Structure 1
Amino acid sequence: MADVEIEIEEQESEQLYFPEPSERQLTARAVIVGCLVGSIVSCTNIYIGLKIGWAFGASIISAVLGFSIFSLLNRKLSVLETNIAQTSGSAAGYMSSAAGLLAPIPAMMLLGYNFSWYALMMWSVSVAFLGVFFAVPLRRQVIDVDKLRFPTGTATAETILAMYGDAADALAKARVLVIAGICAGLFTLAYHFYPLLEQPPIHEWLPGVTFLAVAAAWGFKVYLGPSLLGAGFLIGPRVVLSLVGGAILGWGILGPYSQYMEWAPGPVMDYKNGPRGWLLWPGVALMVAEALGSLAFSWKTFVNAFTMPVAKSLDEEQTVSGHIPNSWWIGGLIGGSILAIIITQFVFEIPWYLTLIAIPVSFVLSIVAVRSAGETDINPVGGMGKVTQLIFGGIAPGSITTNLMAAAITSA
């Protein structure tokens, strides 16, 4: 009895919010505002993702804007409704990345493939279904049993609670978001009419400075686009400095050296014979090595993932599962798998048995990725995708489509 009371106290101490019995949660307005904000973020993620290969979440933005919009309309969302808004916003915001619209699909289009909008929509739905139903057993383990912290999720929850403690502060944050968005939009509109605003040619304005001309020839130019400035605010100095270091090493040292040694004698920006194409290979090698290294150093996470405790009784199973019957998520997983097999067979011409292999491989790797995100707030989705590519490089050598889309399933 004492053990039960201690366990209840521990659970309550970890719970950030205790809702009222009649508090509204899953409502149409919360889902709609979250999806609207998430859709906008998803569109911006496509633009930014095609530029720099990253996507950004919409959790806190959806929570702040949802709270602020309905507060201004005097129809304030409840705490749980705001959580639904950020959940739907986050799901919609990441959809561009989950559907492979930032890497695999553009890569295939560069190789000459063309896809209709409805084919891509069906593909997006199929991987979305897989992701949702993968999440149910993972949620049981990492949240209900292991109680991993998920730092970003915890920060979002704290933000929501802080907004309800200080509504004026939340409205001020929303005001900053709107003002920043308007300024970025006006600047973008301006440089469409006057492109020099985005990339001022300083090397042309100072023709006597030879160093600037040489640096510009190797891609070192000033870029003032607001999207990358905002990305710098979000990702922080550690990643930014790593990118700067890579640019200097690659384009400032190795690129000129490869041209000097005539390994890449073509024009600097030529993919076929120039340094740009030559630098692709050491860059990819570094990324794959980092992915495999991270996987190797995550052996404890792997062990924990496959030696995790399970519920020991029916009552405990019902509590841990969040009242989601096994038949629901298993049936959904089977249905999602069948849909993915059909879509990949007829849209991407990938044999059904290869997709059938890709799905369980993706599930195994997703266990590692989710645990990593819960423990460290780092989701190694790119690394897991590269591991999948290596696996299918051996299973289906020479099949570019299979290699790319198998990685897309893992990333989703």
Structure 2
Amino acid sequence: MEVEQSQRSKKDDDLNNGSVTTTTTDDEEVSVERVFEQSNEVPPPWQNQLTFRALIVSFILAILFTFVVMKLNLTTGIIPSLNISAGLLGFFFVKTWTKILNKAGVLKQPFTRQENTVIQTCVVASSGIAFSGGFGSYLFGMSDVIAKQSAEANSAMNIKNPHLGWMIGFLFVVSFLGLFSVVPLRKIMIVDFKLTYPSGTATATLINSFHTPQGAKLAKKQVRALGKFFSFSFLWGFFQWFFTSGEDCGFANFPTFGLKAYENKFYFDFSATYVGVGMICPYLINVSLLIGSILSWGVMWPLIGAQKGKWYSADLRDSNLHGLQGYRVFIGIAMILGDGLYNFIKVLGRTIFGLYKQFKNKDALPINDDRSSPDIVKISYDDKRRTELFLKDKIPSWFAITGYVVLAIVSIITVPHIFHQLKWYHILTMYIIAPVLAFCNAYGCGLTDWSLASTYGKLAIFTIGAWAGAANGGVLAGLAACGVMMNIVSTASDLMQDFKTGYMTLASPRSMFLSQAIGTAMGCVISPCVFWLFYKAFPELGQQESAYPAPYAAVYRNMSILGVEGFSALPKHCLVLCYIFFAAAVIVNGVRDAVGSKWARFIPLPMAMAIPFYIGGYFTIDMCVGSLILFIWRKLNKPKADAYSSAVASGLICGEGIWTLPSSVLALAGVKPPICMKFLSSSANKKVDSFLRH
């Protein structure tokens, strides 16, 4: 998700900075692995962790989560972490499966936490392709639907419309390189450097808890809560469908705060999905979105709109990039680039500093608990047990290097046939640099839990696009290069997160690598098919006023235009405003870091503020409602809210998300809703009544 790195948990922002820390003794801490040993749990061989039932459940859940992620991609681009939902539903399905087999007396292999980890890894890897595949950003930004929204670079050489064949082929040749690029570094990152990977650690803690008697009991209750709200959300989506027969019809267009506010994109659109997203996202994200909505649609756009005929031609529609739309898009891009550049430099700096400290202290790496040596730091029983099994099933370095080289050669040969604007030497250059960037992203993610995949993708847009040149289809070349780079660095950090999860659940690195590879292969087929269904079922896909505006597709395309053609595309005074908001994003981030975590929670995030600049604030109202529900719930019953809020939110997101499957099928079959519910002003209503009488 474009705002993915902003949504990652910041509670561990001051995590392991690369130095080695001493753990407490076994008597002073609760040993997770001793608990499992007492229950006679023996980790199965890596081959038995990849079971047939695990792959079947992973495939089913991958389809479900791909629909959810795709819908979020094509509406606002905000995608919350679904790891908890994947782990929870994986646990529920296989636990039910094994319970039935056990009662029938035919259960051959019990359900283990290692198998649960494999399912979670496979599902997240598969649905992750819906994000890194660019269906809501760079890939859809190549289409004529998005190109027609701009007067620049919309010639045939800068357009490539989606097609199932080339999308699947492209993803297969670029999505696996990231897996091989960081495999040789797994011991260094996980065991030697002991990077935290907060998301991977949190997922492992969750899975470990599921497989204790008390955790399993809570998991069943959480699944029931998820099921209830999944059903409610699905039926609510079904009910709303009946009232959407025409344009601007239905509950999604309810003018909650009046018609004037509705015209400026302020209304509650009754979306269970975004109420759920709001419950998962931190309060700061939702408040930042609301502030961005008010600043843009409440203040800036009305003021700039009043300059129509002075700053831009009065003959232009607001949706024209040389008109008001240009300010909306390019000021938003400036904020995104300012935030991205700041965090890129920040994470890169922490990475270099962390590496310096790691190598400076390399003689004190926690390799055993021999107290006779003053240079060796004692480690806990859990770490010894986990390290022993993590290093047991090795993945040979020659395998990773050979795999990377072979896949790179295949990609260098294949991709220029898909995008003739992107030359073989462009791709070769990226693949030479990519392992270094993949390492930086994986290491930085381990320190801060921030993946900067989209930032590296934007760097590829500007560098490769400018290298290709405007006359040679540089806009399309930049977008394709973004896809190549994003897939490598995103997959690399995801794999290392999963290695951390596997390390803490005693899952074999081999089973983790294979489950990630299988999930990636699933995603390379499932994600294009799901996108193709949306593309065919909703002809208005990508239009700004539609239900699926795909906002980041236009943003990424205009970034590419800006990188290739310079500032000629900007309307009057837009460049000055871009400079101001770029600088503001950098300054705000700097102030947030300077004041510390205590006060930073009161300062909005520029990345989140930028999202509603383009598409409006309607979804921010939904998300703030989700935050309000969670806030009140925590005030009334904090333990229960903390235990069930993620399950409730996941149910709300998944239910309405999966409703898009039957609604797409109905649209393809030509079945239209029977009713149009529309809201008019009293004067417009009188005109309609008068027309109908005559």
TM-score strictly above 0.5: yes
**Any stretches of 5+ residues in structure 1 without a counterpart?**
1-5, 204-211
Bigger drift between 112-121 and 275-284 goes to 112-121
Structure 1 residue 176: Cα displacement: 1.8
Bigger Cα Rg:
2
User: Aligned residue for 1:409?
Assistant: 484
Per-residue Cα deviation, 1:56-102 (whole angstroms, up to 9, x for no partner)? 44432222112212222315521111111111111112111122222
User: Aligned residue for 2:455?
Assistant: 383
CA–CA distance in 2 between the matches of 1:256 and 1:138?
Answer: 52
| SS of residue in 1 equivalent to 2:253 | coil
Q: Identity of paired residues, percent?
A: 22
Per-residue Cα deviation, 1:129-168 (whole angstroms, up to 9, x for no partner)? 1121123134333213211111111111111121122222
Check conservation: 2:65, 2:127, Cα contact below 8 A: yes
Structure 1 residue 179: Cα displacement: 1.8
Per-residue Cα deviation, 1:307-362 (whole angstroms, up to 9, x for no partner)? 565999xxx9x986951111111111112212322332111211111011222333
Check conservation: 1:232, 1:240, Cα contact below 8 A: yes
Query: Per the alignment, do residues 60 and 294 of structure 1 end up closer, same or farther by CA in structure 2, a change over 3 Å counting?
Result: same
Aligned 1:283-294 pairs, distance under 5 A:
283-294=332-343
CA–CA distance in 1 between the matches of 2:113 and 2:464?
Answer: 45
User: Aligned residue for 1:82?
Assistant: 116
Per-residue Cα deviation, 1:30-52 (whole angstroms, up to 9, x for no partner)? 23312321232122211111111
CA–CA distance in 1 between the matches of 2:87 and 2:182?
Answer: 22
Structure 1 residue 375: Cα displacement: 1.4
> Normalization by structure 1: what TM-score?
0.86
User: Is 2:405 the partner of 1:334?
Assistant: yes
2:196 to 127, 131, 149: 149
Query: Per the alignment, do residues 186 and 180 of structure 1 end up closer, same or farther by CA in structure 2, a change over 3 Å counting?
Result: same
Check conservation: 1:255, 1:276, Cα contact below 8 A: no
CA–CA distance in 2 between the matches of 1:123 and 1:108?
Answer: 14
User: Aligned residue for 2:54?
Assistant: 30
Query: Per the alignment, do residues 213 and 200 of structure 1 end up closer, same or farther by CA in structure 2, a change over 3 Å counting?
Result: closer
CA–CA distance in 2 between the matches of 1:272 and 1:168?
Answer: 55
Aligned 1:324-403 pairs, distance under 5 A:
324-349=395-420, 350-398=422-470, 399-403=474-478
Query: Per the alignment, do residues 127 and 54 of structure 1 end up closer, same or farther by CA in structure 2, a change over 3 Å counting?
Result: farther
CA–CA distance in 2 between the matches of 1:72 and 1:320?
Answer: 32
Check conservation: 2:182, 2:438, Cα contact below 8 A: no
CA–CA distance in 2 between the matches of 1:244 and 1:158?
Answer: 33
User: Is 2:107 the partner of 1:61?
Assistant: no
User: Is 2:240 the partner of 1:191?
Assistant: yes
Check conservation: 1:98, 1:411, Cα contact below 8 A: yes
CA–CA distance in 2 between the matches of 1:288 and 1:247?
Answer: 19
Structure 1 residue 22: Cα displacement: 3.9
> Normalization by structure 2: what TM-score?
0.52
Structure 1 residue 383: Cα displacement: 2.2
2:178 to 131, 153, 167: 131
Structure 1 residue 306: Cα displacement: 6.3
Check conservation: 2:173, 2:407, Cα contact below 8 A: yes
Structure 1 residue 277: Cα displacement: 2.9
Count of aligned residue pairs for this structure pair? 394
Check conservation: 2:445, 2:451, Cα contact below 8 A: yes
1:52 to 76, 80, 86: 76
Structure 1 residue 364: Cα displacement: 2.8
| SS of residue in 2 equivalent to 1:224 | coil
Matched letter for residue 86 of structure 2:
S
User: Aligned residue for 2:297?
Assistant: 251
Bigger drift between 96-105 and 346-355 goes to 96-105
2:168 to 121, 134, 147: 121
Check conservation: 1:271, 1:277, Cα contact below 8 A: yes
Check conservation: 2:87, 2:117, Cα contact below 8 A: yes
User: Aligned residue for 1:208?
Assistant: none
Query: Per the alignment, do residues 357 and 303 of structure 1 end up closer, same or farther by CA in structure 2, a change over 3 Å counting?
Result: same
Check conservation: 2:95, 2:111, Cα contact below 8 A: yes
Matched letter for residue 349 of structure 2:
K
User: Aligned residue for 1:171?
Assistant: 220
User: Is 2:42 the partner of 1:20?
Assistant: yes
**Any stretches of 5+ residues in structure 2 without a counterpart?**
1-21, 102-109, 148-158, 245-249, 368-387, 488-694
CA–CA distance in 1 between the matches of 2:133 and 2:185?
Answer: 20
Query: Per the alignment, do residues 104 and 274 of structure 1 end up closer, same or farther by CA in structure 2, a change over 3 Å counting?
Result: same
Check conservation: 1:301, 1:371, Cα contact below 8 A: no
